[in-house]
Amino acid sequence: MIGKLAWKNIWFKPLNTILSILLLTASVAIITVLILVEKQFEEKYQSNLDGVDLVLGAQGSPLQLVLSSVYQVDDPTGNISYDSVKVWMKHPYVKKAIPLAYGDNYVGFKIVGTTPDYLEKYQAKIADGKVFEHNFEVVVGADVAEKLNLKRGDTFKGTHGSAAEGEVHEHGEYIVVGIASKTGKVIDNLILSNIPTVWQMHHEEGHEEVAENPAHGEEGHIHNEEEVVAENPAHGEPGHVHEEHEEVAENPAHGEEGHVHDEHESDMTIDEPNMEITSVLIEFKNKMGVFMWPNLIAQNTKMQAALPTYQMNRLFDMFGVGLNALKYLAFGIMLISGISIFIALFNTLKERKAEFALMRVNGAKRHQLLLVVLYESILLCVVGYLFGTILGRVGIVLLSKASESDFKLGFNPMEIIWEKEGLLFSLTLLVGLIAALIPAIKAYTLNISKTLANA
């Protein structure tokens, strides 16, 4: 009975009610988005860091190296010699070293040359098919397979560089031999091959440049591949793997008609001399390497050693300033909402004194009048919280679409963080109770005879 009366009363002045609900909705929506994004963002980034103590790569920004090598959300800092880095990969301190080589993409999804250890690092099983064994065989991440509708046995051609709108390679067709299981990690949005595939792709590209580049077509000029690499700007992109050496036969899976291949005839090996890779993910047996290697690498090589945990903590610190500012904004809006509820209830009480007095004459108790006012405020807060929670999750869906497009990072709008969202609900109710406290006390202490005499 009291709740029904309170519900009718809050719509006595609908504009005031709508304003209060809108303010509460906005504040709750902002805080809900921040709660979900902060938790899922940290979980995803931490889960991708597991098993990576250090990243070896070309000199440049260490944060850029970590983002490009661990999270695949930035361009690499450059290439490093595979021969040079092998010495460090075989160091006694190293438990596991996973090399990475970038070159191309397919519809915006990176094609990454690596070893089967990369799948193991992310606990990615092969849901269908097998692990890549030969050149141009690829394992496709779960999200890539779902979004592009790729199946085992499908073939496609890569696009030069990291931009989806780049030049499509006319040679070297990839074949899908496996689909990885869903992990919720960065590997879900990658296409994985062996490293020699990346080398062979750009080795053959170098031969095409010798044949086709008009800049080298002068009569009597003898070409070598080093000149093509030096003069063709298309091969100067940082992080793009390209070395030109001996002619390599076509992939047996995609060879020319009439040519009989041995199964391993065209597979370049990972021990090819003078080849380059993009970076190496290092996990140490002896954690002293975490403290010693950055200086050792900087002093003795042309590479850099970046510490992912340190770099990501720096990034979170930078983001933290913006997140805190948004939180303060949301709490400020909630405070304004509380003031709006207080003003609405206080003004309404003045206009309804006679009504309350009549209720008392007809047998209503003092505490029932107090409860009517409190219920009105609580109902406003509950409605505002529900709308805010829904709006916040709609915001998460939109944010997830944008982040998946740019960073291949999605958020789950249906996750409920009971502790923090429960605390937010309690805070919303507390604001409503405080806002209703003075009007409720005034209703409780209402002088019936004086009110009716003045009416």
Residue 312 counted as domain residue: no
Residue 165 counted as domain residue: yes
Residue 315 counted as domain residue: no
Mean pLDDT of 402-427: 86
Residues 226 and 351 in one domain: no
The mean pLDDT value of the chain amounts to 81
| Residue 2 pLDDT | 73
Residues 336 and 253 in one domain: no
Residue 166 counted as domain residue: yes
Residues 6+ apart with CB under 8 A from 274: 81, 83, 243, 245
Start-end of H helices in 115-194: 117-121, 142-148
The confidence band for 166, taking pLDDT boundaries of 50, 70 and 90, is low
| Residue 73 pLDDT | 84
Residue 317 counted as domain residue: no
Residues 199 and 63 in one domain: yes
* pLDDT tops 60 at residue 383: yes
* pLDDT tops 50 at residue 351: yes
| Residue 125 pLDDT | 94
Mean pLDDT of 96-119: 92
Mean pLDDT of 399-417: 82
161 with 104: CB under 8 angstroms? yes
* pLDDT tops 70 at residue 255: no
Q: Is the dihedral of CA 414, 415, 421, 425 positive or negative?
A: positive
| Residue 427 pLDDT | 94
Residue 239 counted as domain residue: yes
* pLDDT tops 50 at residue 143: yes
Percent of the chain with pLDDT over 70: 81
The confidence band for 381, taking pLDDT boundaries of 50, 70 and 90, is very high
The confidence band for 163, taking pLDDT boundaries of 50, 70 and 90, is low
Ranking 88-92, 228-232, 430-434, 443-447 by mean pLDDT, the lowest is 228-232
Residues 270 and 183 in one domain: yes
* pLDDT tops 80 at residue 224: no
Mean pLDDT of 131-140: 94
Parent domain of 392: 2-46+322-454
Q: Please report the DSSP string for 259-284 in residue order.
A: ----TTTT---TT-TT-EESEEEEEE
Mean pLDDT of 437-446: 88
Mean pLDDT of 402-407: 74
Residues 77 and 96 in one domain: yes
Residues 264 and 175 in one domain: yes
Higher pLDDT, 276 or 272: 276
Residues 126 and 185 in one domain: yes
Of 249, 274, 306, the residue at which a domain comes to its end is 306
Residues 378 and 440 in one domain: yes
Residue 313 counted as domain residue: no
Residues 141 and 260 in one domain: yes
The confidence band for 271, taking pLDDT boundaries of 50, 70 and 90, is low
What's the rounded Cα separation, in Å, for the pair 118 and 72? Answer: 13
Of 281, 306, 331, the residue at which a domain comes to its end is 306
162 with 110: CB under 8 angstroms? yes
Higher pLDDT, 1 or 158: 158
| Residue 176 pLDDT | 96
Residues 101 and 244 in one domain: yes
What's the domain count of the chain? 2
| Residue 257 pLDDT | 39
Residue pointed to by tokens 């992912």: 308
Residue 311 counted as domain residue: no
The confidence band for 433, taking pLDDT boundaries of 50, 70 and 90, is very high
β-strand pairing of 279-284 with 94-106:
antiparallel
Mean pLDDT of 372-394: 93
Residues 274 and 394 in one domain: no
Residues 207 and 81 in one domain: yes
The confidence band for 15, taking pLDDT boundaries of 50, 70 and 90, is confident
Of 306, 341, 368, the residue at which a domain comes to its end is 306
